[in-house]
Chains A and B, each alone.
Chain A
Amino acid sequence: MENATVNSNACGVMDGSLPGSCANLAFPYIPMQNMNAQRYDAADALAAGTLFPGLNLPFFKAVKSRMNTDNTALCELMALGFAINELGLYLDTHQTDQEALNLYTRYVALFNDGRTRYEAAYGPLQQSAVTEAGYTWLSDPWPWDYAGGKK
């Protein structure tokens, strides 16, 4: 077996280099997110695409343009829904994080309250939410019926 040219900062035979340290070769790993991970508020989370600053990893060299979320009732609901989604995934693997659970409970309550008020004003979000106006589920606009340049 030939010796490779010795590198002054080489790691052991079984190791490769990581930034600042050495680690076993050929062992990919994903570090576990800490308990009580730092969080954005719901609106910033929706804009960043993640609830957690630690997971906010914009694509290399990509121009970071924040999603412009208008301050409408629907956007508020979307922000809460997104935060609930993210917290739900986090709680799946961190079920003993009491603070996250409290926040989850609070966001769900806010979301349900917001949905009731939204539906009273703008129509149903779910098919089963029949309002006084009758069966308005099929009324436009559907959120994905959006054409470029037109509202």
Chain B
Amino acid sequence: MFVYEKRLQYPVKIKNTNPKLASLIISQYGGPDGELGASLRYLSQRFSMPYPELKGLLTDIGTGASKRPLSKT
């Protein structure tokens, strides 16, 4: 279901490293409002979604949300 490529979806250029900010950003990955939870919610809602276009959308967004943190960090 998941395929990954050796490239980023969006160019990331970090001019100045900032570990404090990085730890704040990575904290948005987990937790009740994190991207990881969101991606799993999209993917589990997908299985009970009766409308095909929304079934597809939930799957696409769910797989997208799990990729997002990688480019955030």
Q: Does A19 contact B (CB under 8 A)?
A: no
> Which residues of A approach B to under 8 Å, CB–CB?
46, 49, 67-70, 74-75, 77-78, 81-82, 85, 88-89, 92-93, 95, 123-126, 137, 142-144, 146-149
Bound: A69/B11 CA distance, A: 7
Which residues of B pack against A, CB within 8 Å?
3-17, 53-54, 56-57, 60-61, 64, 70-71, 73
Q: Give the Cβ gap from B7 to chain A, nearest Cβ, in Å.
A: 5
Q: Which residue of A lies closest to B70 (CB)?
A: A144
**Docked CA distance A95–B5 (Å):** 27
Residue of chain A at shortest CB distance from B17: A148
Q: Are B14 and A82 in contact (CB under 8 A)?
A: no
- On chain B, the residues within 8 Å of A137 by CB distance are 6
The 6 closest A-B pairs by CB, nearest first: A92-B57, A148-B17, A92-B56, A125-B5, A143-B8, A148-B14
